[in-house]
Each structure stands twice: as structure tokens, then as C-alpha cells.
Structure 1
């Protein structure tokens, strides 16, 4: 069966293609829509601006890696894949860190909701202690990942993933590894 690519993703792919030929800050909305044969109005149906396009798609990529591999790979391997993905899109992260009106950061709230659902599904419930563990882990993980981006990706994705997994409470790791 032929799978169609959503319009929102086509716009991102157009943008990503343009990133290989010109600096991100010079890419305009007109460039993006012209490159994929669409009209300017369709862009604004899906995104507020170029920053929204970048941010939305980075989250889409990160969470698709999680969802496609959860229960198949160990949590450390999933985190490593995500770190490699962040490294693949490093120009976009660097742009967002330097040009976004407010500080661009990987979103803690979205990560918390995702982890919370995994734990709730695994254990059937989430008590107050586990909520605190999830909050602590998500805040720390996102902080370390943002520092990694800001520092110029000095650690390898494998080392960063290992460090992030070393800090996980055993009860949380059990759910994340689906053991």
C-alpha cells in the first residue's frame, strides 16, 4: 500500500531540503512553499512561522522514535537514537537557540506526559512518589539534553544516553524498558 505524506510533513521536508543549500536564517516561507509547489496560505494553515515549523517537527521526529521503538529496544538505545536525531538536526537546534524570541528548549511538559502515560500503562496507576520520580527524571533529562545542545554536542549520543539512563530510578527504568 502506498503511504501518503501529510502536507505538514511535506512542508518540513521542503524546509529541510533548503537547509542543505542555504543558511536557515535566509530561508523564507515563500522559499519553503515554492520548493514543494504549494501556496503560501497552506503554510499558515499548519504553522505560525518558521520557528513553529522547526519546533513541531523536531518533536514529531523525537516522539516517533520513542513510539516506534518502545518495547522493542531498551530505553538507553531509544535515548541514543533520539540524541543521534538531535545531532542530525543540529543546525535547526542551533538556529532555534540563537534566533528564537524566547529561549528554545526541548519541552519538559511533553516529555513528562509521554513518560507518565508509559508508567500508567505499565503499572496501571501512578502514585505521588512515582509522579515525583517522573518529574525529577524529565526535568533532569531535558536539562542535560539542552546543555548538550548548548555546549556544542561534546559528548557522543551514546555517552549522553548512558548518563541519562544511569540517573533513572529503578522502578521507572523497569517501566521504560517494559521489563
Structure 2
């Protein structure tokens, strides 16, 4: 009988301690932060060849979540600077790339696609941001530039090695 009383008191103390810790670290103190997850081989780096004058460069992809907005995420594409090779590049130093962002639900094998048009110049640090709504839970996220237009199924002169990874969405 004494053992039951000790176990019940210990359980009560532990549950009060857990409730206090969880209650004091609530959503009000949360801020957008990188999503909890695991990037693939190339991290968030996307080497790309664009649509204008053989333009090329590297674009970094960041994926952030905000606990105050569950089931949402923010993708930010940041250019490290683009280069070109033709006289056309000298006349217009802008690299047009249409990124395709795809995420797969971790529970059901359904996927969703968003097309993000970008135009980066020579200077590093140019950014393009887009919001996605993958839902809460585990997702597989991939982003890159493909040579097939997802709207018309036509050829687009661009290509990249995709960045991908698994992430937990609050």
C-alpha cells in the first residue's frame, strides 16, 4: 500500500513539473525558425543553369516554419550571384529560372507543386520568398529547375540539381 502512495505522489510531482515547463514555454514566445528536418546530399544549395545566355550560378534554399502559424512554411531562395556567357548577357545580365517546389505528405503519398518564377542578377543576395501550406507533420520537400514546363509540358532551356529533404511541420 505504501508503494502505491509513493508512486502516485511521484507521478503527481512529475506531471506538475511537466505542465509548468510546457506552460511557461508556450507559443507566445515562439518565432519563425528553420524547419526541423534533414537536408539531402547538397544541403539547401541548388546549382542551376538558367534560360538566358547560358546563365548559371548557385541558389540557396531555406525553409522556415512558424509555430504561431501551424501547417505553413516559408521557402526563401537566395542567389549567390549569376554569370552568363554571351553578348546577350552583357546587354541584359538577368538569369530567369522557374523553380518547381514539390512536397509529399508523410502520411499519404500525395504531392503538391508550386511554380516559383525568379530572375536573379550578378549581385549575390537577391531573394525570392514564397509561402506553402503542406499541413502539419512529416513532409518530403524538393526544389529545383526542370527542363519541362509543369503547365504546358513544353521544353524550357534550364536545369538544376535539386535540393531536397525531410521536414517536420508544426
Q: Do they superpose with TM above 0.5? A: no
Name the structure where strand makes up a greater proportion of residues: 2
- TM-score, normalization: structure 1? 0.29
Name the structure where helix makes up a greater proportion of residues: 1
